[in-house]
Amino acid sequence: MTAETITPSKMLPWYQAYAQLLAWSPPTGKWSDVRHERERSLVHALPHGSGIDTDLDLSNSTPQRLVIMFGFHHMNDNGMYDGWTNHSVVITPCLQNGFSLRITGKDRNGIKDYLADLFHSAMGELVDKFA
């Protein structure tokens, strides 16, 4: 979609769009399918690849607290994969900044700073609130 077809009033940051989706419980049938497709689309927009090589698990999320769990595949100086660490990204509302973000898990090679930057950027990405 282009900027001409979507006005800013139709856009929401990713974290708000996902929290609203979690709060929406449509009846079974067509609207349930719409909700499932919307969730699939939002999850697909999250960072993946380049070390985030497992499925993203958002099953512990609520409208007030998003939790994204995943594994990170580390590389050594020779470019060879050499181990995994498990992490969670915890996003909570913040009146001052919109949201707070915390990364859990082992901080192997300073990876938590990289993951925080990556997911902070993703949470602020604008998405169409009606798509």
Residue 53 forms part of a structural domain: yes
Residue 4 forms part of a structural domain: no
Domain of 52 in residue numbering reads as: 9-128
Give how many domains the chain has, as a whole number.
1
Check residue 86 and give its pLDDT.
Answer: 95
Residue 14 forms part of a structural domain: yes
Q: What residue ranges of the chain have pLDDT lower than 50?
A: 1
Check residue 45 and give its pLDDT.
Answer: 92
Per-residue b/e over 62-93, b at no fewer than 16 CB within 10 Å?
eeeebbbbbbbeeeeeeeeeeeebebebbbee
Check residue 54 and give its pLDDT.
Answer: 80
Residue 112 forms part of a structural domain: yes
Residue 84 forms part of a structural domain: yes
Check residue 74 and give its pLDDT.
Answer: 93
Residue 19 forms part of a structural domain: yes
Helix then strand then coil, in percent of the chain rounded to 5, is 35, 30, 35
